[in-house]
Amino acid sequence: MKTLIYLVFPTFENMNLFGDTELFDCGRKNFKDFRLPQADLRLWEQFFHKEESDYYYSVFKTSTPWQQRIRKMYDRILPDPRLTAYYGGVDGLAWTKPLLIIKDRVEQVCGMRFNRVLLNYYRDNNDSVAWHSDTLPQDGVHHPIASVSFGETRIFKVRNKLNKSASRIDIALTHGSFLLMGDGMQDHYEHHVPKTARKLNGRINLTFRTSGRDT
């Protein structure tokens, strides 16, 4: 009599910290150049593998001194619909080892150098950021921004500043992805992460920047 042996493998649902990470495919990295007119926009999906991404999300969520800033909007003082922390330079927090490791990884790929990083924590589907272009640094020049995401997938919307009727781009920024907003992006385009009715867990976004004022 033959003996049948059944092998039971764990499902992705049981293994994943975030449901959307079911798309992880054994470390294969997908790259896309959006080839925008007058701007450089490139995306590396799965730039960090799942175990790294889970680790960094947990570390930044629990160890970052998050703050909720307030700002004036339409003659009202309102809290930002997300939490933030700023590292680098004379007025930022001291760099941590995980931030320096990630910084080195993105710098090696894009061939650029960064001396600041802004962390954004979108706690759930109700947190967002309005349409904007990043402001000019102290040296008056728009530098490239390297954006790394950990956690839930959020939609990153892009539109042309002057031609609002032009086609918009919706980019799904997934767990472990790296988006490079290069030359021309802040000059000619603006971006936005909207709220959504779909219930979501947190997302942490790191935007590495360059300031000509100090190191």
Residue type, 39: A
The helix (run of H) or strand (run of E) holding residue 145 is strand 145-151
Can you tell me the mean pLDDT for 161-180? 93
CATH 3.40.50.720 is held by the domain 40-209: no
Average pLDDT for residues 123-133, to the nearest whole number? 96
pLDDT digits (tens, 9 = 90+) for 90-117: 899 999 999 999 999 999 999 999 999 9
Q: pTM of the predicted model, to two decimals?
A: 0.85
**Type of residue numbered 112:** M
Spatial separation of the C-alpha atoms in residues 40 and 205, rounded to whole Å: 20
Q: How far apart are CA 56 and CA 75, in angstroms?
A: 38
* Domain definitions of the chain by residue range: 40-209
Torsion of CA 19, 81, 143, 60, to 10 degrees: -50
Tell the residue number behind the tokens 């709220």, with chain if given.
195
Condensed to tens digits (0 to 9), the pLDDT of residues 139-155 reads: 778 899 999 999 999 99
More confident position, 36 or 139: 36
In one-letter notation, the amino acid at residue 162 is: L
- Going by C-alpha positions, the residue among 98, 10, 85 that lies closest to residue 54 is 98
